[in-house]
Structure 1
């Protein structure tokens, strides 16, 4: 195939711009992964890139796996598509023994547990929640490249739970000492150690520069100062750098992400080519109107334009807004609407219910179960870690050594039936239904396998997917926080809890914190392809609708009759 086929004019400009520095400002749903992979493939096709000298960096193993998969589909092998951490760890594993004469220290597998041991040495007994918070402070300090002394000065007079800053500082010192005594590195140390190695060892830097010539960074709005420093060391004094990101989707500032690296790319690289991708190929026009209204005037925001795609009748309707008496009433209304959609033929996998914080999910899970709707909570147990899935894979692996008496799919079905799969699902909700859904997903993988697949080939493929965490989609409705939903999309999205104190969340104070909540809301809105339902409830405390709802009111329509009691706070009807 021609890798330039099917690209719009903006995507084509980005793909054809092979010499860096290049910044691609990719609006939500604008096909940034397509642009990244097509640009690399085009560079290889015309001889500008050698696959083995290309490094494509992203933030999750799943995203890196997707990049590799798409590149393989385009006929490109040998590109190093990795997370920052896996790339740094690979370089440390390669160079460390040569530099030190010893193996690389082990990686800390549980920072909170090690912190608990450090606390014991100080005769402290903080609870687990406090230790988790201290761990977050350690991570923030390191990705911001602060020393413990700098941290102490910046947080003087503060506290983490019951611990004063002075005590937190001593706990951090004890943690670092214990880690050194055990010859361990934590997650952030991997990046720090790699950066230190490249800065201090000229021959290592020269070897890395010889190996990798062309760099692409996905989700560049999420880089931390530490990742930016490491990237600069990898690139060196060359210009072959392409960054892709969306400042409007910066939602990890609390973890050290700094969108200024994207926003100021042109200032740091005066000769940079900056390309915008404004065409959205995901969402209906009404959804895009709300998204644009919410982010209008914000730094780096890309005005989204509906792409040239075919949509069904009515898909351009504005998002609906519904007010409810309390959280239980809101959850029941959402569950009833979801059940109605599924009864009308919607695939449960195409529906998501989103919320700001995990604590909001309990009523929703219960209401959906009562309505007979199966759910999966994103961020829960990974599919391939589910005991029933691991048991099924082992059983299928065992069956693959014997000659097949029935067809491949029938054999898979028989094995899964022996483990508890039934023709009809049990009632929604609970561990029994979850196990049924997991086994049913494995059966669907078998049914979707290419004709002629053997049971051994199927189990090999499933085990490869497990290693890559390439999880199949369960035939369930997805429940997720807004953070967990980033990078995903569904036909029908319910964005719940849109009240002051929930979205924006109550502890978000000051312009920067509120703006991060705005970007979270934008992420939620732009997950929807066809319909978007926004809801909020007054609750016992008499909450008000979210300020973000107020801002996009002209781009929404009410989901209740005009004559219904409104309470005075949400009276404007739009889209009629």
Structure 2
């Protein structure tokens, strides 16, 4: 499976690479602006500078470098790319891990509760103020609170979370509204009960893991750190990273808040980082998408809260043009047939990469597996894989969540129904905002073409947000 092509740094990227002073740096940019490429080029330059410094000063300790990704699929992808970026040097100690794998290496063996288990433990304590449909929203809200505010998971004190009572809940939408009485029920009722349930089971959750990693003894301090897709890291994850930095250090956060799809939000000052203009680099040119793809994605995020680190896709900043995205209306099997017929007619399947995305995994890919096998199109599965496939596969199957940060020539999004994209109907609904960001992120993975499919009468409300002038509609 192909990865990003080797690139020559652009003038925009060279400015970022030339900034070698120690401290924190923030790289912002919309989908396709070369954030990951720039981060890897910066990684290579920072390693060179640190290795030269080590030799000049006669230090014995290795140069310790950490690259953190949000999920396992992106970890495998970045690892494959970094092999071509980092020098082979015995004085270099390079780690590329998901945050959770890195944190576990600090904390030791722990038993993490799963999402369904967390939901079940919280349900008895949200029934008093949440409808059945709102329950999962409040599960996310608990994760939001426990990711943003510091607390002690061993000797839990709900007053540590009291900042939540008055904080502006940016990043969580306007609906459902969470008034102060409900916030009090969460931090003085639901969350303490949840903490007790975990303790009785001898388990922790991902927020607890961040706090434990922050408190863990630092057996190594990192000289260079790159945090990719940082918009989906919590404040407590960032705090944990900060506890394990060398003095001086070079730490780079790569992000676009518009692509945030998890219930995380914080302001840089909350984690002790002064986001002065001189430490922020904004990438504006879209090197990945065609102008037509960017224009197709734009309505999905236009009007959403932009936030400090967000960047809207800009079709005027694209370097290339191409065909309009294809929207296919019909049964799921017909959607796949038309999409693959179009690929076989227009794509170079000897050299191009294809990703078929679904909002959910498992059996949702059954039909796609069957069709690809019938068409004799080699494929692999990427979801939650931490080893990037290096075989001759042309196509890949992946959930949208696991596709964060990846890049492909052609993106297929069949089966976009309301069933797999449920949300509330209120203005500013948090679930709808998340889905809009998620679909825009998925579309933004494409270099050459995008195809979206739905069954008439069952289509996701996201289809109605698209601008008909930006796509070609085909009915099966």
TM-score by length of 1: 0.58
Question: Corresponding residue for 1:487?
Answer: 405
Output the CA distance in 2 between the equivalents of 1:67 and 1:370.
28
Residue among 549, 556, 564 paired with 2:471: 556
Residue among 23, 35, 42 paired with 2:26: 23
| Alpha-carbon displacement from aligned partner over 1:169-224 (angstroms, at most 9, x marks no partner) | 64641331341xxxx66554432222234xxxxxx56x75xx33443321111111
Are 1:219 and 2:229 matched, yes or no? yes
Q: Secondary structure at the match of 1:517?
A: helix
Output the CA distance in 2 between the equivalents of 1:266 and 1:304.
32
Residue among 252, 261, 267 paired with 1:242: 252
Question: Corresponding residue for 1:86?
Answer: 101
- The 3 A distance-change label for structure 1 pair 506 and 15 is same
Output the CA distance in 2 between the equivalents of 1:490 and 1:544.
26
Aligned pairs for 1:373-392 within 5 A: 378=381
Aligned pairs for 1:185-334 within 5 A: 187-197=206-216, 204=217, 211-235=221-245, 240-253=250-263, 257-258=264-265, 260-261=266-267, 268-270=274-276, 272-296=278-302, 298-299=306-307, 300-304=310-314, 316-324=322-330, 328=331, 330-334=332-336
Kindly indicate whether the alpha-carbon contact (under 8 Å) linking 1:251 and 1:516 is maintained by their aligned counterparts in 2.
yes
State the Cα distance separating 1:235 from its structure 2 match. Answer: 4.4
Unmatched 5+ residue regions in structure 1? 93-103, 120-130, 159-164, 198-203, 383-467, 565-576
Question: Corresponding residue for 2:127?
Answer: none
State the Cα distance separating 1:40 from its structure 2 match. Answer: 2.7
Q: What root-mean-square deviation, in Å, do the aligned CA atoms of Structure 1 and Structure 2 show?
A: 4.7
Kindly indicate whether the alpha-carbon contact (under 8 Å) linking 1:375 and 1:477 is maintained by their aligned counterparts in 2.
yes
| Alpha-carbon displacement from aligned partner over 1:466-520 (angstroms, at most 9, x marks no partner) | xx63334574643433223223333332223456x35853347552432222211
Q: Secondary structure at the match of 2:32?
A: coil
Higher helix share: 1
- The 3 A distance-change label for structure 1 pair 353 and 148 is farther
Residue among 352, 358, 362 paired with 1:355: 358
| Alpha-carbon displacement from aligned partner over 1:507-556 (angstroms, at most 9, x marks no partner) | 475524322222112112112222222333323x687673321xx33322
State the Cα distance separating 1:11 from its structure 2 match. Answer: 0.9
Question: Corresponding residue for 1:41?
Answer: 44
State the Cα distance separating 1:7 from its structure 2 match. Answer: 0.7
Output the CA distance in 2 between the equivalents of 1:370 and 1:533.
20
Number of aligned residue pairs: give it.
415
Aligned pairs for 1:452-471 within 5 A: 469-471=387-389
Question: Looking at CA atoms only, which structure, 1 or 2, has the larger radius of gyration?
Answer: 1
**RCO comparison, higher one (Cα < 8 Å, 6+):** 2
Are 1:143 and 2:147 matched, yes or no? yes
- The 3 A distance-change label for structure 1 pair 117 and 478 is closer
Aligned pairs for 1:404-483 within 5 A: 469-472=387-390, 475=393, 477-483=395-401
Kindly indicate whether the alpha-carbon contact (under 8 Å) linking 1:43 and 1:49 is maintained by their aligned counterparts in 2.
no
Question: Corresponding residue for 1:12?
Answer: 14
State the Cα distance separating 1:112 from its structure 2 match. Answer: 7.9
TM-score by length of 2: 0.69
